[in-house]
A and B are shown apart, each in its own frame.
Chain A
Amino acid sequence: MSVMLTKFESKSNRVKGLAFHPTQPLLAASLHNGSVQLWNYRMGVLVDRFEEHEGPVRGVAIHPSRALLVTGGDDYKIKVWDIRPQNRRCLFTLHGHLDYVRTVQFHHEMPWILSASDDQTIRIWNSTSRNCIAILTGHSHYVMSAQFHPKEDLVVSASQDQTVRVWDISGLRRSTPNTAPGTFDTFDNFSTVKYVLEGHDRGVNFASFHPTLPLIVSAADDRQIKIWRMSENRAWEVDACRGHFNNVSTAVFHPKHELIVSCGEDKTVRVWDLTKRSAVQTFRREHDRFWVLAAHPELNLFAAGHDNGLIVFKLERERPAFTMHGDMLYYIRDKYVRSYDINSGADVGLLSVRKFGSPYVPPRTISYNPAERAVIVTITSDNGLFELTALPKDVVGEVKDSSTDGKRGGGQAAIFVARNRLAVLNKTSQLIEVRDMANSVVKTIKPPVVTNEIFYGGTASLILSSTSSVVLYDIQQQKTLAEITTPPVKYVVWSADGSLVALLSKHTITIANKNFSQHTLIHETIRIKSGAWDDSGVFIYSTLNHIKYCLAQGDHGVICTLDNPVYLTRVKGKTVHCLDRSARPRTITIDPTEYRFKLALLRNNHEEMLYIIRTSNLLGQGIIAYLQQKGFPEIALHFVQEKKTRFDLAIECGNLDVALETARTIDRADCWERLAQQALKQGNHKIVEKAYQQTKNFDKLSFLYLATGSTDKLTKMAKIADARGDPMSRFHNALYSGDVLGRIAVLRDVGMHPLAYLTAKTNGLDDTALEILEAAGLTEADVDDVPSFGTSTLRPPPVVTTTTDLNWPSISTGESFFERALANGNLEGGSDVPYINGHDAGVAASSALDEWAKEEETQDDIAADEDGWDLDAGGDETAPEAEKEDEEEAEEDLGAGANPWISESELWTRNSPFAGDHVGAGSFDTAMQLLNRQFGVVNFANLKPLFVSSYRSTHAYLSPTASLPPLQLHLRRNPQESSPSKVLPVASRTLVSVRSELSEGFKAVSGNKLSEAQTIFRSVLQALLLVPVSSDSEAKEWRDLVTLAREYLLGVSIELERRHVVTQVDPENVKRSLELAAAIGVFAKANNHATAAKFARRLLDLNPDPKIVAQARQRIAAGDRNPRNAVEIDYDEFTEFEVCAATYSPIYKGSSAVRCPYTDAAYLPEFKGQLDSLLQLTEIGAPSSGLPAPRS
């Protein structure tokens, strides 16, 4: 019994009819209570309701291309609705049926509506003319369903009369019939019963066509589902699916796979294999009988209606199993493991997993191990299985099936935790097994929490997901390192450098650092599908309908909307790589500006912010609000043109200049007031003054002038007040400016003579006081009873510092990076700040996984050698009994009395006929014998350093355990080779290294350092003695190198000898010229024309006879033409003689010579048995076998 993958569920009255929208995530449901609902099943919202039917509505359908809905109800009516939200309404109603309407359907191309009714008829209506155009009669009971054929002019109907009928309606298309209402008799001519399918024992509830094959499926009250096949002229029952134990309501073909899905009153939804007719899956509900089932025409989506609502479900997970490694995506499509190179787009099938688990269930997860180039695939069938398989190195032809060498086991989750370890979770027993590559358990862990999923957690760690938390768990120490409370985590995505991890739950994302010490949680209302890290450390994720981003500190936002869910695999710059729901790789181009900008803001990366500001044009209200909210109003200021916002921002960040400027343009009182307030706070009284002036706030203005000690302005204010005729203001100003006369004048003007008099009096202005009295018609005597107040001390405070012209100094708030950059017109220039997506760290992958990922190049698919003593660990499980015996046998050996076996060195000597290998193995004895036999070497004294250093370089020493003598480790020539019969020591000298040494010698020659050259050539020849060869071509190269080195050595030796002789003895000119001629030949043969030419010039110096001169000149010319020594020139005039390496005299062709058994240098016969003079190694003329044949 499987768990249904429910996408959406709703509670309602009994659902009798269901229809999917072909392109949008909409589902129409008709209910028993007469309502028709339109759901958006992706968002889970009820989009609309259509409630005009009376009584239950059983039939519902959505038009395949237009925004139309048709319903048919128990009120005998068929209604057609416009479902566009702006003009939703019932377009028209079709009357005609005489009983309940069971099903309705739109034709896929014609304007036809098909309906089935309990009045035993099937009707076809023309939705344009809104007339009934055909009535199909023949059923003798309720017609429970009628469906158009998806392509042909056929209708299939199911009836309670126990038959399924197929109707031919081609006549209807040929001639549009008379559509005049009421003329029923004309209809029948156009439609005929083609087949009557009998076989069900009870009433048939539903019948439908296969989308492509000539098949019909029917569901009946006899609890059976029958499959029928049609040919041109007949139709017959193919088979029946038995299993429902109550009436089957609906059965439909799966639009993509060879499956049938059915539902029934036994409260089950069942899935059947179309070819085997066997039950595949059963989903059971406790209480709800199922009444209707609908399949989405395109997607892997079904809807089923039951007693209390409806469910939308998938038969299989759509999320493809995938994993990223670097830029390679490994994923599974149609049960094939494939790799996709996101750089080149190369998409290759690597491995079939068709035989793994149930054939109907796609694999759930894949984990990739780059070092072993192996994958672990898990599947949910059979209670959870995993399979460990190596991927082929390169696929040629048919890909192999994983069943051939895959190692399997049970478990709900399985991942690689290290190069050679995998962890397998068993949910029921709550145990995590750590297994090695041979699939044997090396360790068992009891997780500290009830674990539903396990993920890679960094080196030697696991992330355990439980229902309420995730745990970072150290495998070695078996302890919990950290725990975060979160909803159940379903997926885990590590950033490229392994420093951050995103834990994805259904509706939350937790971004944590690698030891879980810091984390942030993001909530989403829509289901989260997948995510991937941008190279710059931004997490990009997809929900059902959006691609969004999330910064490490928790800010998130929408990047773009999606029509269909995708599964993100990798984000590179502007490109999002993803898999769609059918597991096909695709890319989406996004605009990363917003999150890049926010990231730059977070990291205070002003250059980049500036760069983005310069080059992008997005930055709308959202970003401004964001900046404001995050406390960066001064930055936001730069993006705003709108005056009001600009003013608000300027006030917020205290940028008075901008505020003043915008306030001027806005020129509204409240702006000036706010500006005044802000300016006052900052002590910029000039702006305050301006603001007050603008708002005509005289009181405040006066007080401001008082505060700043600006007396002349106060005077002005007084005049203004006078002009305004505002005595209160005049009085104020007079008071502020200490203008007593002014004050008195005001008081007198307003008729407050007593106050005016007293003011004058107390300020010692007796004359004025008298004047006032007079004006009031009084004398001093009249005011006798007024007490004497003495002299008033009321004075405006003296001005200590004149601040009128000074503004309070404030810390520069403006002049930010941006202002400078923007003010300097830097916007255009200085664009050398390219956006760098990501850190270098991302490349220098620090996580261990990536570390061991890097060296897989050297892996070879040489299987572990079974022969010899290297017991493969895999043997343990394949033959447990045999192993037991083995063990007992071994028991004798295992223990104190273990005898040493032969050492690797000894194997080396056994495996090689080359002296060099014997030297490497330390077997100098046999090496010398070999050299003696093969090359006649007798004088070994000169070879000692070579022997010792060769031997020295074949062994390393390491003690893994404290204080023990180190192990002697043997450097092998081929690290991939571990078979004892093939191992060879590393070659301390190789042809390559010898050749490079030889070229040093060439350099010495052309640099005229001949004695140095002589040493080098000698050393080359010595080294060549110990160079092993592995193929015939190498052997030939070896021989060529020996010859080349020998000829050079000979030439150089001759020249050295000549110089030695020439300086002393001249008369031997003739003989020398011959020798030089020989040397020329030697060099010419070695293609060393430059040197040959040099020798030829020397020859000319000796004035030899004309013929030789001519030849010498020729050589010089050749040398001039080819000053470098690489070009072959066919030249053989001088091959007629050789030079004796001891005397440097010519040995003409045909005369006898003895040779050095190693270098093949020629000697005059008299030297036989003596030590060769060139190298001083071999006995001249000794018998020798030469270089042994290489062993392949």
Chain B
Amino acid sequence: MDSSELYHVKQQFTLGAYKSLVDLTLPDPNSPDYTPTLIYKARAYIALDKPPEALQLIPSGSEDVALKAVSALAKYIEADLGERGGDSVLEELRDLCVEIEGDDGDVDEKEKGLVRVLAGTAFTRAGEIEEALETLGAGTQHENLEAVALIVQIYLSINRPDLATKEFNHAKRWAEDDILLQLIESSIALVTGKESYSDPHSFYTEQLANPSLTSPHLLTARGVTRLLRGEVSAAKSDLEEATTQLGGTPDKETLAALIVAYSVGTSKTTEADQYWSQLKSQYPSFPMVKDVERKADLFDDLASRFEVPPLAAAS
């Protein structure tokens, strides 16, 4: 059982309260919580797309595989954000994965699991879905809930909610209704729309009422859920509240959701267009930007296939 502080840290990480995590003061270096907390903090930096800060945090030359994996992931994401290839870093992660497979005993299960999760994250970002699933141990007997979360998200991203549900049901047997398990359940429902998205809606609502943390991510998530449920005005208020909590500048997911919130069912696109240009300029590599741009290009191409006759006009 984790100590109460570590539990709290883990909960914050799970629920996307990255901002409060990076502001966290690390415990005493001799405390058994030190390294795990450090890792969570570094991962929070990475999640906020600030890999350099994460790298700064990690002591160089550490022999700890988990730390090495975190720093590798940070390097990979740094490269990825800079649109540079990170193949060499991927190799590094692969090596680490091989290393932990060896039975040399000084790496405990928890650390192994963490390395797999971090490597899996990198592989997924690199588009190596198959490799990611294999690394994470999809379909095998393991008790690594974070890996399950990743696997489920990967399955969902390739439109396999059936497999995601199976993986989740496996995990249900041993995961003791962990908060992460509930998150996984709600993620699946976000995609399948089971019971009008009631799982994610209640999950995010309940967690927003959780007194031990505030996370704008939760607000964004509930906003998105409400969008999916068709409650546009409620969604808007969530998203705006999230923006306020983020200090006035919405993050990419909030921006994306705001665009949708302001363009559903209305003819006025002023706000939506404004958010759109903000998203486009700040996060050009965000999937939504890429996707929509691609569609726009496609449009021109497709439109040109039709022959346009001369305009009818009084001569």
Contacts and interface: CB of A to CB of B under 8 A. Distances in A.
Interface of A: 371-372, 418-421, 434, 440, 442-444, 459-460, 475-479, 846-848, 851-852, 855, 858-860, 864, 869-871, 873, 876, 887, 890-891, 893-904, 922, 924-925, 928, 932, 938-941, 944, 947-949, 951-972, 974-978, 983, 986-990, 992-994, 996-997, 1000, 1019, 1023, 1141-1145, 1163, 1167, 1169-1173, 1176, 1179-1180
Given A968-B287, A1142-B313, A890 B193 contact: no
A952 B43 contact: no
A955 B292 CA distance: 10
11 contacts: A418-B202, A459-B211, A864-B195, A898-B158, A938-B306, A938-B308, A956-B227, A956-B228, A996-B267, A1019-B267, A1170-B312
Nearest to B209: A848
A493 to B, nearest CB: 20
A692 to B, nearest CB: 65
Contacts of A1172: 312
Kindly name the residue among B149, B177, B187, B253 whose own CB sees the greatest number of chain A CB atoms within 10 A: B177
A1143 B308 CA distance: 20
Given A442-B181, A479-B4, A1170 B259 contact: no
Interface stretch (B26-34, B94-102, B134-142): B134-142
Contact of A1173 (B1, B273, B305, B312): B312
B183 A960 contact: yes
Interface string B273-315: 1001000000000111001100110111011011111111110
A434 B13 CA distance: 24
A870 B311 contact: no
A478 B1 contact: yes
The list of the 6 closest CB pairs from A to B, nearest first, reads A894-B139, A443-B177, A895-B139, A900-B158, A869-B162, A419-B202
B20 interface: no
B228 A972 contact: yes
Contacts of B307: 938
A268 B22 CA distance: 70
Given A952-B260, A963-B121, A1023-B267, A947 B299 contact: yes
A975 B190 CA distance: 11
Interface stretch (B60-68, B85-93, B103-111, B164-172): B164-172
B256 A957 contact: yes
Contacts of A442: 172, 175-177, 181
A772 B221 CA distance: 113
A994 to B, nearest CB: 7
Name the residue in B1, B44, B150, B206 with the highest tally of chain A Cβ atoms < 10 Å from its Cβ. B206
Interface string B130-170: 11011000111000000001100111111111110111010
A657 B140 CA distance: 90
A870 B161 contact: yes
B295 A949 contact: no
Given A855-B201, A987-B265, A948 B139 contact: no
Contacts of A904: 159, 191
Nearest to A996: B267
Interface of B: 1, 4, 7, 11, 13, 16, 18, 43-44, 46-47, 73, 77, 121, 124-125, 129-131, 133-134, 138-140, 149-150, 153-163, 165-167, 169, 172, 175-179, 181, 183-184, 186-187, 190-199, 201-202, 205-206, 208-211, 220-221, 224, 227-231, 252-253, 256-257, 259-260, 263-267, 269, 272-273, 276, 286-288, 291-292, 295-296, 298-300, 302-303, 305-314
A956 B223 CA distance: 10
A960 B153 contact: yes
A986 B130 CA distance: 32
Contacts of A902: 159
A974 B229 CA distance: 8
A448 to B, nearest CB: 13
Given A962-B13, A1170-B312, A988 B265 contact: yes
A966 B303 contact: no
A63 to B, nearest CB: 61
A459 B209 contact: yes
Contacts of A858: 196, 229, 231
Given A479-B4, A928-B302, 6 more contacts: A851-B206, A903-B159, A958-B253, A961-B149, A971-B264, A1176-B311
A948 B46 CA distance: 32
Nearest to A477: B7
Nearest to A856: B198
B166 A952 contact: no
A869 B161 contact: yes
Given A958-B220, A963-B73, A897 B130 contact: yes
A699 B140 CA distance: 105
Contact of B312 (A479, A986, A1171): A1171
B302 A925 contact: yes
Given A870-B161, A938-B307, A966-B287, A894 B138 contact: yes
| Interface residue SS majority, chain B | helix
Contacts of A968: 157, 287-288, 291
Contact of A476 (B13, B172, B179, B286): B179
B239 to A, nearest CB: 10
B125 A847 contact: no
Contacts of B266: 993
Contacts of A948: 292, 295-296, 299
A972 B191 CA distance: 11
A967 B172 contact: no
Contact of A901 (B139, B158, B230): B158
Contacts of B139: 891, 893-896
A421 B211 CA distance: 19
B292 A952 contact: yes
B306 A1171 contact: no
A238 to B, nearest CB: 54
Given A851-B209, A870-B162, A953 B260 contact: yes
Contact of B196 (A928, A975, A1173): A975
B306 A928 contact: yes
A964 B150 contact: yes
A530 B171 CA distance: 42
Given A459-B206, A957-B286, A1171 B308 contact: yes
Contact of B199 (A420, A990, A992, A1142): A420
Nearest to A972: B193
Given A902-B159, A965-B124, A959 B153 contact: yes
